Amino acid sequence: MTPPQEGRTGLAGLAGHTVPRQATAAERDRGEIGPEPADVLLTVNGTVHRVRLEPRVSLLDALRERLDVTGPKKGCNQGACGACTVWVDGHRVLACLTLAVACEGREVTTVEGLADGDELHPMQEAFVDNDALQCGYCTPGQLMSAVALMKEGHHRDDAEIAEWMSGNICRCAAYPNIRRAIRQVRDSGGRAEQEGES
Amino acid sequence: MSIPPQIGRGVPRADAHAKVTGAARYSAEHRPTGAVHAVLVCSRVPSGRITGIDASRALVSEGVLAVLSHLNLPRVAAQPRLIPSLAGTTAHGQSFFPMQDERIHYAGQPVAMVVADTLERAEHAAELVGVDYAEEPWTTTVDQGRDRAYEAEHIFGGFVPGRTDRGDVEAGLAEAETVLESTHRFAANHHNAIEPSAATAVWEDSKLTLYDTTQGPTATRLTVAELLGVPPSNVRVVSEFVGGSFGGKAMIWAHPTLAAMAAQHVRAPVTLALTRAQTFSNTGHREEQEHTLTLGARSDGTLTAIRYRKLSPTSHFDDWAEPSLGPAAQLYACPNFEGVYDLVRANTMTPTFMRAPGEGTGAFVIETAMDELAHELGLDPLELRLRNHADTDPETGNPWSSKGLRECYARGAELFGWHSRDPRPVQGARREGDWLLGTGMASAVYPVYSVMNPQRARARVYADGRAVVETGCSDIGTGAATVMGQVAAEALGMQSEAVTVHYGDTELPNTVAAVGSAGAGAVSAAVHTAARKLRDQLVAQALADQGSPLYGADPDEIEVRSGRMSLRGSPGTGEAYGEMLGRNMTFDAEAVGSWQPPGRDSGYGTATFGAQFAEVAVDPGLGLVRVRRMTGVFAPGRVLNRRTAHSQLMGGMLWGLGQALLEATHMEPNQGRWANPSLGEYLVPVNADTPDVQVEMLEVEDRVVNPLGVKGVGEIGQVGAAAAIANALFHATGRRFRDLPITIESVMAPA
């Protein structure tokens, strides 16, 4: 087996491919990862990646710098802006405050995983339709929060939508249009809810 | 003049798909082979000198390739000199470049740069660099420097005089029956675009490619080339996606040049991304400021005199103040005006443009003062403004190129329901439980700046019937790319869906930086000129082509629809651009258009106007203020895309909400550095702070400013919005709020 390389790696987890040795759950429980780099298997948008990481690497840096998944954005790197919002096992988390090694064995979903091939997710369509974006830098995080909010059921009225979208700063202040996009998806029959669970 | 069908359409953003799928790559997201990371180390002291740099621990840290400081970084090839980016040339944000000697001018100034193979290794090693300082006394606030204030000769990069006089203010005050004086203090502000500034530098032999977060790719090219001492033609700048700017990326700061220097040193591509905290001391700010305004008026409300002084800190290298006196000087027909900018030399970087630079603070002052005057005189605030309406430009006496302010007032008042307003500004006159309700209004004005050099674009039609239009401008979220396609389609006689736009690259025809709300005017002028030239060229080719059904026809009788040229009134006689090109074995045709702007002395006053209205609910027990609704009506010349323009204006108005109630960077005077450089502590509006916003645009024809009469929508939405909110607070509580932001504790304090 080729020794793992620091940095970006190719796909590792497709059927028939050898999965490299990684720390077992027991080893991890004993704290046997780090401080030196270790191999971690990260499942991102349904694809398994083997990536060699120091334990201090955040999920956000692992995605952006190692896997070249740059949809999740770095706006503050301290959990204040929400631009890095992704899902871990279907729940929204701030990737900048999540350690990558803690995501082994979990499903990570980023904005790149929202569309079904060339078909945009209804929430992506609604953001385009309602001009719910300007510079676009917060948009991936807004989308991941908006779709999760549907699944959470926090979409009864505008006040509730606004409250549950307030972890995602939009400095262009497209907020009223973001609320309108969410209402559009809500009122068009909850297709986003089903897809949000997938 | 009828509005042509492609221009003005609310077509979706050209880049929306890339932005909602995550495909859009911003400057720190380009990954050239072998790229490494640079991280800055910034001064923790505001004044003094570096007495020692210990790089030894950083250098042995794993993955570290270099530690650069004034000890080993090459000297820059030119002393930078601040020039606003609107000038279209170099755009140094300040007349200073860091890491050239041991001198410390401000806290947060870069003192070292660590380059390592991964980001976390560079970040870690940056913490291991030891820097010793000999501190010296500093000044960082208005209060610390008040005694040493001086009257500026010029501000704003030399573009605005330090003193403006018209008429005789003393005589005007003597004539006044009412004189009001007020002092207003403003906290410093930071842009806080969600994308922190970043640059990725790639050298190939002597050629440099920079992916930069910039409002002006050409400005970056010229500035970095001058500092590196290389020909501008050897520097390519790519900025297709820029994650917001609001002025913070309007000037060219040190980091793209530092990234290029680091890449040269380690002989590998380098990405240098500022941390959020570093953006507070590396990309400029809106300065702390104190304004003192004296208004004189007759009992009928007619203004007789305006005296205005502004005091603010600037850096040690530049005389900078945002031009806050503009709205007071331009909004009303007052014959006597005196305005002075006083400055204090301070240990900060040079302040810079921030959305509505000057107009945001200045309109707050004049428009809350006008509200106060209306109250003193027992006049409706809107009526007072109408009585002082400036039919000509009060600064020059010139006619306006276009105005529309009266129409904005009237339409805004109608939409908002202003005329049924209970006028009493009494605490609790209107109440819902603990909430006191109030409404307020204000005027908005923003200059139409004339750009200074030719604006170019290239248009190309392919034989398959599609077109491409190209300019070098970046789209910072304004919709510039989208409107390029619409303007080209209109001139070519095509649908905008058939036009692809290329932008954000210095290899494309040059346009000025998208600053000062001038971007849409400049880019649309260039694109219109290029596309119109190409259309005429293709029509001429058809008329001269014996194989064309239009051979020999009169060019004035030709019209083009959906890419098909035909005889007016005889649509069956004609052919598509593509048919003609194909018959002649031609794959494409193109034209470069160049628009020469009219220059500064057009003989007209040029500005955009609008009217702002707001309703607030105030809980004085808890100090809470909720903005319930906002209405803004603006007259921005021609609107190129109703959807993107609406978003710009709405965003501007919500910036006014942030300015009024939230935004403040606090200088810690005993440390001489910003106390809250983070998005957790620098408060900006979040979704739950923002009401739905009603925006209307009244198109006014303008034949002066540029070929399409586009006056810009980037900043006017913010101007006056904070004043409307503060005036609504007065209406709700009977208390006047003169300082920004209006904080919870100031609302709670007893009157």
Residue among A56, A136, A68, A132 at smallest CA distance from A96: A56
B428 Cβ contact partners less than 8 Å away, ≥ 6 residues apart: B436
**Chain B within 8 Å of A19 (Cβ-Cβ)?**
no
Q: Which of B22, B245, B693 sits opposite A140 (nearest CB)?
A: B22
Which residue in A has a C-alpha nearest to residue B681's C-alpha? A80
Q: Which of A57, A111, A133 sits opposite B22 (nearest CB)?
A: A111
Q: Which residue has the higher pLDDT, B259 or A21?
A: B259
Contact present, B236 and B506 (Cβ < 8 Å):
yes
With the C-alpha atoms ordered A47, A51, A53, A55, is the resulting torsion angle positive or negative? Answer: positive
Task: Report the alpha-carbon distance of residue B142 to residue B343 in Å, rounded.
Answer: 9
pLDDT tier, A25 (very low <50, low <70, confident <90, very high otherwise) = low
Task: Report the alpha-carbon distance of residue A160 to residue A183 in Å, rounded.
Answer: 11
pLDDT tier, A195 (very low <50, low <70, confident <90, very high otherwise) = very low
Task: Report the alpha-carbon distance of residue B160 to residue B154 in Å, rounded.
Answer: 6
Structure-block tokens of residue B459:
């248009």
Of all residues in chain A, the percent with pLDDT exceeding 70 is: 79
Q: Which residue has the higher pLDDT, B85 or A110?
A: A110
Average pLDDT over residues B117-121: 96
Structure-block tokens of residue B115:
């380059």
pLDDT tier, A29 (very low <50, low <70, confident <90, very high otherwise) = low
Average pLDDT, chain B: 96
What is the residue extent of each domain of chain B? 16-22+451-595, 398-438+604-748
Q: What is the torsion angle, in degrees rounded to the nearest 10, for the CA atoms of residue B544, residue B550, residue B554 and residue B559? A: -120
pLDDT in tens, A141-167: 999 999 999 999 999 999 999 999 999
pLDDT in tens, B641-684: 999 999 999 999 999 999 999 999 999 999 999 999 999 999 99
pLDDT for A31: 59
pLDDT tier, A18 (very low <50, low <70, confident <90, very high otherwise) = very low
Q: Which of B25, B28, B686 sits opposite A166 (nearest CB)?
A: B686
**Chain B within 8 Å of A57 (Cβ-Cβ)?**
yes
Strands B607-619 and B624-635: antiparallel
Inspect the interface and report whether the beta carbons of B684 and A136 lie closer than 8 Å. Answer: no
Average pLDDT over residues B420-432: 87
Q: Which of A75, A110, A135 sits opposite B22 (nearest CB)?
A: A110
Average pLDDT over residues B287-303: 98
pLDDT in tens, B30-69: 999 999 999 999 999 999 999 999 999 999 999 999 999 9
pLDDT in tens, A73-92: 999 999 999 999 999 999 99
Task: Report the alpha-carbon distance of residue B239 to residue B502 in Å, rounded.
Answer: 11
Average pLDDT over residues B286-308: 98
pLDDT in tens, B684-713: 999 999 999 999 999 999 999 999 999 999
What is the residue extent of each domain of chain A? 25-113, 122-197
Q: What's domain B16-22+451-595's architecture?
A: 2-Layer Sandwich (3.30)
**A19-29: string of b/e by CB count within 10 Å (b at 16+)?**
eeebbeeeebe
Inspect the interface and report whether the beta carbons of B243 and A162 lie closer than 8 Å. Answer: no
| Residues of chain A with C-beta less than 8 angstroms from the C-beta of B648 | 134
CATH superfamily entry for domain A25-113: Beta-grasp domain (3.10.20.30)
pLDDT for B156: 87
Under CATH, what is the fold of the domain B398-438+604-748?
Answer: Aldehyde Oxidoreductase; domain 4 (3.30.365)
**Chain B within 8 Å of A75 (Cβ-Cβ)?**
yes
Residue B427 has pLDDT above 80, yes or no: no
pLDDT for A22: 53
**Chain B within 8 Å of A47 (Cβ-Cβ)?**
no
Task: Report the alpha-carbon distance of residue B724 to residue B738 in Å, rounded.
Answer: 12
Inspect the interface and report whether the beta carbons of A133 and B24 lie closer than 8 Å. Answer: no
Inspect the interface and report whether the beta carbons of A174 and B647 lie closer than 8 Å. Answer: yes
Question: B220 burial class (0-12, 13-18, 19+ CB within 10 angstroms)?
Answer: buried
Task: Report the alpha-carbon distance of residue B43 to residue B132 in Å, rounded.
Answer: 10
Q: How far is B120 from chain A (nearest CA, A)?
A: 7
Structure-block tokens of residue B149:
């204030």
**Chain B within 8 Å of A169 (Cβ-Cβ)?**
yes
Average pLDDT, chain A: 85
What pairs with residue B740 in β-bridges? B186
pLDDT for A36: 82
Inspect the interface and report whether the beta carbons of A75 and B194 lie closer than 8 Å. Answer: yes
Average pLDDT over residues B628-643: 98
Backbone φ/ψ region at B229: left (φ over 0), alpha (ψ -120 to 50), beta: left
User: Which DSSP category does B666 fall into?
Assistant: P
- CATH 1.10.150.120 correct for A122-197: yes
Inspect the interface and report whether the beta carbons of A71 and B644 lie closer than 8 Å. Answer: no
Question: B78 burial class (0-12, 13-18, 19+ CB within 10 angstroms)?
Answer: middle
Q: In chain A, which among 115-144 make CB contacts under 8 A with chain B?
A: 115, 120, 124, 127-129, 131, 133-140, 143
pLDDT for B517: 86
User: Which ranges of chain A does DSSP label H, i.e. alpha helix?
Assistant: 25-29, 59-61, 122-129, 139-152, 158-164, 175-187, 191-197
Structure-block tokens of residue B739:
């300082």
**Chain B within 8 Å of A154 (Cβ-Cβ)?**
no
pLDDT for A197: 33
Average pLDDT over residues B287-298: 98
Residue B600 has pLDDT above 90, yes or no: no
| Residues of chain A with C-beta less than 8 angstroms from the C-beta of B15 | 136
pLDDT tier, B598 (very low <50, low <70, confident <90, very high otherwise) = confident
DSSP string, B683-733: ----GGG---EEEEE-----SSSSTT-B---TTTTTTTHHHHHHHHHHHHH
CB atoms within 10 A of CB A16: 4
User: Over the Cα atoms of chain B, what is R_g?
Assistant: 27
pLDDT for A108: 98
Give the CA angle between residues B308, B396, B167 to the nearest 5°: 50
As a whole number of Å, the end-to-end CA separation of chain B is 54
Distances (CA, A) of A188 to A122, A123, A185, A191, B132: 9, 11, 5, 8, 62
Task: Report the alpha-carbon distance of residue A176 to residue B120 in Å, rounded.
Answer: 37
Q: Which of B16, B118, B243 sits opposite A137 (nearest CB)?
A: B243
pLDDT in tens, B544-573: 999 999 999 999 999 999 999 999 999 999
Task: Report the alpha-carbon distance of residue B189 to residue B195 in Å, rounded.
Answer: 17
Residue among A67, A178, A58 at smallest CA distance from A126: A178
pLDDT tier, A196 (very low <50, low <70, confident <90, very high otherwise) = very low
Task: Report the alpha-carbon distance of residue B609 to residue B711 in Å, rounded.
Answer: 10
pLDDT for B426: 80
User: Which DSSP category does B450 fall into?
Assistant: P
Q: Which of A54, A110, A139 sits opposite B19 (nearest CB)?
A: A139
Residue B260 has pLDDT above 60, yes or no: yes
Residue B384 has pLDDT above 50, yes or no: yes
CB atoms within 10 A of CB B380: 16
pLDDT tier, A14 (very low <50, low <70, confident <90, very high otherwise) = very low
Inspect the interface and report whether the beta carbons of A133 and B16 lie closer than 8 Å. Answer: yes
Average pLDDT over residues A97-115: 96
**Chain B within 8 Å of A97 (Cβ-Cβ)?**
no
Residue B222 has pLDDT above 60, yes or no: yes
Contact present, B217 and B505 (Cβ < 8 Å):
yes
Residue A2 has pLDDT above 80, yes or no: no
With the C-alpha atoms ordered A122, A128, A133, A137, is the resulting torsion angle positive or negative? Answer: positive
pLDDT for B515: 86
Task: Report the alpha-carbon distance of residue A126 to residue B402 in Å, rounded.
Answer: 37
Task: Report the alpha-carbon distance of residue B38 to residue B59 in Å, rounded.
Answer: 13
Average the pLDDT over each of B252-256, B425-429, B595-599 and give the range with the smallest value.
B425-429
Residue pairs between chains A and B whose CB atoms are closer than 8 Å: 180
pLDDT in tens, B177-206: 999 999 999 999 999 999 999 999 999 999
* Secondary structure of A20-62 in HEC code, one letter for each residue: CCCCCHHHHHCCCCCCCCEEEEEEECCEEEEEEECCCCEHHHH
